[in-house]
Structure 1
């Protein structure tokens, strides 16, 4: 498995190097201007963005404590470390380490990994719903004098429809999650039985998580936390752009217009490879800022690098400290969580085939 992953990453690096070599004469990039942009970054705005991002990890710990309450009544404190360590593992080892957080929580609280994978699925669904609602509202109610207003309205309304679809799906799963999971298992099994079983299990986990929220107060608390958290993430994008005070296209960026940048950034991070993914992430956000806002490519690239540091890499120092305090090896945790996740899915497939 490790050899295959190494081969894939090596292939990606070679392909990127080949593209740069082939188009080297067509790329006009002013490196002195790039460094000049980074040199004049407003540290107050950048630090504000980092503070917002760190607060979201604390909010994630609070939300996880609500999700896990039906299994074990635990305070927020023990859950903060796994959030820091887990996101650090993702930053260093890519999306293959995505299960590090549920793995660490399960190990720390003495719970099963399958139960925490269900919490992880529930967390992701609330993330998706909250991000879609903030994104669509910001775009749909953008001022009429916003450049490309028609495009903003179209994207915003489409996102509102997506948010509504997520809400309806959540309601259906809450009432008849077993039937939905069985339908998904039946339809997808001819294509791939492991994938079908994995999706069905995620639907069942989402149902169980929703049913675990016993009161309207708990549901409202989780919803509010999710909305506040994603509002802070969006604000961190705005603060980072405003740090480039010598580039008007970025320094004057509004919250509404920042939504397209956040969407591009999230899309670029979905299939992130270790280290290499950092540069692809910068390229995606830089291209978005250059295309959407007309920012010079050097300033856009510098802002893309700063966005990566503020929204993704800033957790690494705290994560390394938490890992050391908990006597955890990040690489080992990333590998163990991936293997344990496969074992859980394999057990589900075997159980479903009986």
Structure 2
């Protein structure tokens, strides 16, 4: 009976995700000509071996994230790989269950496990985001070079070219600014910055938010003590994102046809488009990595609408939802319920606010 309920729940969840994708892409797909039969045929014909390879590779990506976190954490206290890896999976599963409110769960669990102050872990979390932003900008730049050197299919190529060039320019400018900002913090410390922003911490609204994030950067950058730390973290970040591109490759090849002809360079371009799409809205499509993946599949690579939707759906499940296979049991093992996770997220936010107000972020 429980197995039947589980299958029903999974089926309803898949239908909900599919409906969301179709809704977000309704202007692009021209649903009057969209064939549900072809969509179902594309899903049924997918090669499960490639999908399983994608799932295995995404777990390797989580392992690389855990290794990078270990590098940052080892200068603050105890840092062992396997506990960090397990909590990494559990933390991303919490994001899958709760959405954005679940993002603070991972730093909080890691803080409790290693007995390190939450504010220190928040600093690592912000630093981790920084490395991802820089790598995303590099991937976008590579994608733009690949796009400029290849022929394009479909009427949406000019829209993508304009959007990716604009987004790439913004990302490039952001990377230059971030590097300069980090160099200043690392050389001169964060005391001046803290004194400058101390007045903002007592305010409400966007100023307080900017102050907390900026001081989080300052705390996080201090965890990089040597050039070796920086080199190792940079290397792991680059490998991580390259492996994410391989996940895109495996999922695409799992559907055969035109999708099966995509190479690693094509998947880097696809990844770049979805990353750029996280900061830009494409005309008539809107945001969302899934809709942008469909847009790129159909307009850049000439994939049929139905196959593109199927691939985007599976890509989302593999890259975002598959962590729940191990992550949810790990959360249960830690003794947390759905309601407790929400309470933990709220509690951590309040604790960080209190520490920031007392000026402990330095």
Query: What band does the TM-score fall into relative to the shorter chain?
Result: 0.7 to 0.9
Q: State the partner residue of 2:326.
A: 318
TM-score (norm 2): 0.77
Q: 1:166 and 2:178 equivalent?
A: yes
Displacement of 1:183: 5.4
Which of 221, 226, 235 aligns to 1:215? It is: 226
Q: State the partner residue of 2:116.
A: 111
Output one character per residue of 1:13-40: Cα deviation in whole Å (capped at 9) or x when no partner.
Answer: 9xx8xx89x99x9643211100100111
Q: State the partner residue of 1:9.
A: none
Q: 1:235 and 2:235 equivalent?
A: no
**Segment of structure 1 superposing worse, 231-240 or 194-203:** 194-203
Which of 262, 274, 289 aligns to 1:253? It is: 262
Structure 1 residues 347 and 208 mapped into 2: Cα distance closer, same or farther (>3 Å)?
A: closer
Displacement of 1:230: 1.0
Equivalenced residues, count: 323
Q: 1:66 and 2:71 equivalent?
A: yes
CA distance in 2, matches of 1:139, 1:199: 30
Output one character per residue of 1:154-192: Cα deviation in whole Å (capped at 9) or x when no partner.
Answer: 468624444333322322332344445665677x789x6
**Conserved? CA contact 1:34–1:301, under 8 Å:** yes
CA distance in 1, matches of 2:96, 2:355: 29
CA distance in 2, matches of 1:332, 1:266: 32
Gaps of 5+ in 2: 1-16, 280-286
**Conserved? CA contact 2:140–2:275, under 8 Å:** no
Structure 1 residues 297 and 232 mapped into 2: Cα distance closer, same or farther (>3 Å)?
A: same
Q: 1:78 and 2:89 equivalent?
A: no
**Segment of structure 1 superposing worse, 119-128 or 59-68:** 59-68
Q: 1:53 and 2:58 equivalent?
A: yes
Give the secondary structure class of the aligned counterpart of 2:262. coil
Gaps of 5+ in 1: 1-12, 271-278
**Conserved? CA contact 2:66–2:85, under 8 Å:** yes
Output one character per residue of 1:98-156: Cα deviation in whole Å (capped at 9) or x when no partner.
Answer: 11100111111122221111110011001111222133124325572342699398468
Q: 1:328 and 2:333 equivalent?
A: no
CA distance in 2, matches of 1:145, 1:265: 18
Q: State the partner residue of 1:136.
A: 141
Higher relative contact order (CA 8 A, sep 6+): 2
CA distance in 1, matches of 2:151, 2:193: 42
Q: State the partner residue of 1:87.
A: 92
Which of 102, 106, 119 aligns to 1:101? It is: 106
Which of 262, 265, 275 aligns to 2:271? It is: 262
Q: 1:151 and 2:161 equivalent?
A: yes
Give the secondary structure class of the aligned counterpart of 1:295. coil
TM-score (norm 1): 0.79
**Conserved? CA contact 1:126–1:226, under 8 Å:** yes
Displacement of 1:217: 0.7
Output one character per residue of 1:296-346: Cα deviation in whole Å (capped at 9) or x when no partner.
Answer: 221111011111111011111101221233223244123312332134225
Which of 32, 35, 47 aligns to 2:40? It is: 35
Q: 1:307 and 2:318 equivalent?
A: no
CA distance in 2, matches of 1:112, 1:174: 21
Which of 340, 348, 351 aligns to 1:340? It is: 348
Which of 184, 187, 197 aligns to 1:175? It is: 187
